[in-house]
Amino acid sequence: MNRLDNKVAFLSGAARGIGGAAAKAIAEAGAKVVIGDVLDAVGAQTAKDIGALYVHLDVTQEASWAAAMDATVKAHGRLDVLVNNAGIFNGKGVEDATLDEWHRLVAVNLTGVVLGTRAALPHLKKSKGNIVNLASVAGLVGSQLDPLYSLTKGGVTTFTKSTALEFGRKGYGVRVNSIHPGVIDTDMGQQTFAMRAQQLGSNDTEATRKTSTTMHPIGRLGLAEDIAKGIVFLASDDASFMTGAGLVVDGGYTAQ
């Protein structure tokens, strides 16, 4: 089950966090893994730890994606799985975020996914591969903390469905699915606790961490490994009848 033997996977933003855990899980499932990130020192170490290749990738730049795909195919001859994982969070209200902050969110969370999809597609068409996009519960229901982030993740949710339909209609044999984490205890998770505290005029991140925890009926926050398992499943042939779907891994957050 959930094996990826003889497959080649590329993950954006996988120097740490969910992407880092997914890269490890994908490697353990038998695939050759390539990690792309802007955090070069951290990314190179993560790659070394799991026997992966690291390449510098800024997901907002088309030329950077072209170079990353070239390096992947040069090293491993093919590409079977793209995980569009790189993402940023802002944590400010509609009235407080600057236009530059909005443009940055769009560049990483939306343009990054579009460019990644376009760059990987010629290779995925050859391998009949698949794409896993990191959306969020914030792409399914409203976000109390960050309406602008939520807008970008809603875009990832429907882009996933629309590209699944387009690639199906064109007979590419390329599946596209999204995964929707609840609050996950990563650097970004920490950032959400800090922003929630700031919005309350406090810096008690332990209190806001507890508040976030209570929003998950299962009684705990998510771990990067919880999401990595879902990514491996979607990327594997066990999900071969899934396309245009969203896998919700949120401890019950959106069941309420």
Ligand X SMILES: NC(=O)c1ccc[n+]([C@@H]2O[C@H](COP(=O)([O-])OP(=O)(O)OC[C@H]3O[C@@H](n4cnc5c(N)ncnc54)[C@H](O)[C@@H]3O)[C@@H](O)[C@H]2O)c1
Please identify every residue annotated as catalytic: 149
Binding mask 81-100 for ligand X (x = CB under 6 A): ----xxxx------------
Identify the residue among 116, 129, 189, 251 touching ligand X (CB under 6 A): 189
Identify the residue among 26, 176, 184, 235 touching ligand X (CB under 6 A): 184
Task: Order the strands of the 175-181 sheet from edge to edge.
Answer: 53-56, 32-37, 8-12, 81-84, 130-134, 175-181, 246-249
Residues 119-138 that bind ligand X (CB under 6 A): 134, 136
Neighbouring CB atoms inside 10 A of 106's CB total 16
Question: Among residues 236, 226, 230, 227, which one has the least CA distance to residue 5?
Answer: 236
At residue 94, what are phi and psi to the nearest 5 degrees?
-55, -40
Identify the residue among 9, 19, 47, 177 touching ligand X (CB under 6 A): 19
Residue in the structure block whose two tokens are 């993560």: 46
**Cα 156 to the chain's mean position, in Å?**
10
> 3-state DSSP call for residue 176?
strand
251 binds ligand X (CB under 6 A): no
> 3-state DSSP call for residue 97?
coil
114 binds ligand X (CB under 6 A): no
116 binds ligand X (CB under 6 A): no
Nearer residue to ligand X within complex by CB, 95 or 187: 187
Nearer residue to ligand X within complex by CB, 105 or 126: 105
Which residue blocks in 51-170 are alpha helix, DSSP H?
A: 62-76, 99-105, 112-127, 147-169
In the chain, which ranges are E strands? 8-12, 32-37, 53-56, 81-84, 130-134, 175-181, 246-249
Identify the residue among 4, 7, 17, 208 touching ligand X (CB under 6 A): 17
Residue 187 C-beta: closest distance to ligand X, Å: 4
Nearer residue to ligand X within complex by CB, 29 or 57: 57
Residue 86 C-beta: closest distance to ligand X, Å: 4
Phi-psi region of 105 (alpha: psi -120 to 50; beta: other; left: phi over 0): alpha
Single out the segment in contact with ligand X by CB under 6 A; choices: 1-9, 55-63, 114-122, 199-207: 55-63
Residue 61 C-beta: closest distance to ligand X, Å: 8
Residue 169 C-beta: closest distance to ligand X, Å: 27
Identify the residue among 9, 11, 18, 195 touching ligand X (CB under 6 A): 18
The two three-digit tokens of residue 47, written as one number: 């790659």
Q: Which residues lie closer than 8 Å to 83 by C-beta, 6 or more apart?
A: 9, 10, 11, 12, 14, 19, 22, 26, 131, 132, 134, 231, 235
Nearer residue to ligand X within complex by CB, 171 or 219: 219
Task: Give the residues lining the site for ligand X (CB under 6 A).
Answer: 12-13, 15-19, 37-39, 57-60, 85-88, 108, 134, 136, 181, 183-184, 186-189
